[in-house]
Amino acid sequence: MAQISDLIELKMPAKPEYVGVVRLTVSGIANRLGYSYDDIEDIKIAVAEACTNVVNHAYDDKEEEQVMLLKCGVFADRLELIVADRGGPIDVDSFKNGKGPIAANQPIEELKEGGLGLFLIETLMDKVEISGDSGVVIAMTKFLQRGEVEQNGNGISKEAPNQ
């Protein structure tokens, strides 16, 4: 595996208005690395979903330091993004519970409005790991699709049968 060449770290207030700033930052980094337009858009959505989770769920109003942390590991063949909060330990299994696409066979009044974020992260990124020892930590990897780079099997092609 290639050595890490650059590490970029951001610490921001866990507020809705900064999620767009994280998106722009990550988009700039991915663009510099030569990702395709579609891959950059996928990375933007995935990182925004992770940040949205921090903003909506990580902290109670009383807590003093409400931060979201972003780490970008830049490798020759991939980008590793870690979004973390300090909202305290969570149970990863229950965190993952309820994720999935909208269930089309349900009556309209029973459709759920949440649970899509994590599903999207896992669909749009190549590798996702979640831990929750001192807060939610979502580590996600997107491989750079060049000729010489091994194609990852569970990428974008999945939703094609929907057409």
**Closest C-alpha to 156, from 36, 63, 57, 72:** 36
Give the residue with the Cβ less far from another protein, 4 or 102: 102
* 4, 7, 76, 102: residue in contact with another protein (rule CB under 8 A): 102
Q: Is position 1 an interface residue for another protein (rule: CB under 8 A)?
A: no
* 101, 133, 151, 154: residue in contact with another protein (rule CB under 8 A): 101
Structure tokens at 70: 């972003």
Q: Is position 51 an interface residue for another protein (rule: CB under 8 A)?
A: yes
Residue 75 is classified by DSSP as -
Give the residue with the Cβ less far from another protein, 64 or 159: 159
Residue ranges of alpha helices (H) inside 91-142 are 92-96, 116-124
Q: How far is CA 133 from each of CA 31, 49, 87, 113, 137, rounded to the nearest angstrom?
A: 32, 20, 10, 27, 8
Structure tokens at 69: 């942390």
Give the residue with the Cβ less far from another protein, 19 or 72: 19
Give the residue with the Cβ less far from another protein, 75 or 96: 96
Q: Is position 157 an interface residue for another protein (rule: CB under 8 A)?
A: no
Q: Compute the least distance from the CB of residue 163 to another protein, in Å.
A: 8
